[in-house]
Amino acid sequence: MSGHAYANLLPPSWKSVVIGWMQEDCPSFDWGGYVVGDAERTATLWCKTEGVLAGVPFVDAVFEEMQCTIRWNFQEGVLLTAKDSVQGTSDGKVKVAVAHVKGPTRNLLLGERIALNTLARCSGIATA
């Protein structure tokens, strides 16, 4: 699919599904957000197992809804291996910084579980 975005394969209503996931994940009080506050922070999304990166449009939608910005180090569909690992992993394991997300701490925490679960599920399916 050279030159084409995989997100273009999704139906027009897909972003409402992401919003539904977020409503289900935190249906009422956000006690954790109250504790951590709104200071701006940067979080790193790590890949710790070799596989295909998939689910990028969903993660983008989650963090867009949370008013965070995300910078991807790899494109959707790329096979991540130990050769992509950060320096210092002498044990041969994969530890790849896939993306960096910046925004209010409370928003990072609200979005991270949905984003990581979705990324892991989509990447697992793409790898299989």
Three-state SS at 26? coil
Closest by Cα among 46, 44, 38, 59 to 106: 38
pLDDT surpassing 60 at residue 4: no
Tokens read off for 32: 């954790």
State whether residue 95 is helix, strand or coil: coil
Q: Label residue 118 exposed, middle or buried (CB < 10 Å: 0-12, 13-18, 19+).
A: buried
Q: What are phi and psi for residue 110, nearest 5 degrees?
A: -65, -35
Residue 18: partners with Cβ closer than 8 Å, 6 or more residues away: 58, 61, 62, 65, 114
Beta bridge partners of 63: none
Q: What's 93's DSSP letter?
A: -
Task: Place domain 36-127 in its CATH homologous superfamily.
Answer: Quinolinate phosphoribosyl transferase, N-terminal domain (3.90.1170.20)
Q: Is 94 a residue whose pLDDT tops 60? A: yes
Model confidence pLDDT, tens digit, residues 14-73? 778 888 887 787 766 666 666 777 899 999 999 988 999 999 999 999 999 899 999 999
